[in-house]
Amino acid sequence: MIDLKGQTAVVTGASRGLGYAIAHRLASQGAAVHLVARGAAGVEEAAKKIAAETGATTVAHAADIADASAVQALFEGLDGLDILVNNAGITRDGLLMRMKDEDFDEVIRVNLRSVFLCSRAAVKIMMKARYGRIVNLTSIVGVHGQAGQTNYAASKAGIIGFTKATAKEVATRGITCNAIAPGFIESDMTAVLSEAQKTGILASIPQGRMGTPQEIADLTAYLASKESAYLTGQVLSIDGGMGI
């Protein structure tokens, strides 16, 4: 059983969806979890709910993690750090020929720049402790691409390269850095799909179903644990066989 007692974790984009499920899972394994999201009300509610259900220590932070000063303030306020989960992300879909500059820039800023800023701050703490786990959420879109998502695909592919380079830089200090590439997961985004769209998606997945946030959280918990010490620089697809 994974034991994270005595460890401190930061999870970005943690007020809902995958981020919430991951924060809940880490807390249930005993970690003290700092939940980070833009909206104060949402992240505070999430932190309170997780604390009530798991008995773990949770702290809510309302911050724009693509802003360097906000990230610096967040990490300087921590009393140690063992686990960083870079989950925050947005979409601004559109065909390349019609995509606005600001839609490309904002997706790169939130999805990729935030990973750089948070990881840089985290590594400074982890290097001193000679221990750490960094888990970055990418996507199968970053591996295979997707029409209408050139900005999102670029940001998620960038996370893959960033993960591999970071893993090499910090490997001798007891720090691992891995990426998770989810396929189609039950979420607010997939809930709005039409039945015809869902049927088409399920036909492309060998297991014939979408994944759950809990399944992503379970894999994250393993990568965040001491048991994953010899696993680093990897991109783990969790997609029901879609990428085979």
- Catalytic annotation, residues: 152
Long-range pairs for 200-208 at CB < 8 Å and ≥24 separation? 204/242, 205/239, 205/240, 205/241, 205/242, 206/240, 206/241, 206/242, 206/244, 207/240, 207/241, 208/240
The closest alpha carbon to 38, from 99, 94, 100, 106, belongs to 106
Considering just the CA atoms, what is the radius of gyration of the chain in Å? Answer: 17
Alpha-helical regions (H) of 4-67 = 17-28, 40-54
The answer to whether 38 and 12 have CB atoms below 8 angstroms apart is no
Distances from the Cα of 220 to the Cα of 71, 94, 178, 243, angstroms: 22, 30, 9, 19
CA–CA gap between residue 236 and residue 160 (Å, rounded)? 10
- Judged by DSSP in three states, 95 sits in coil
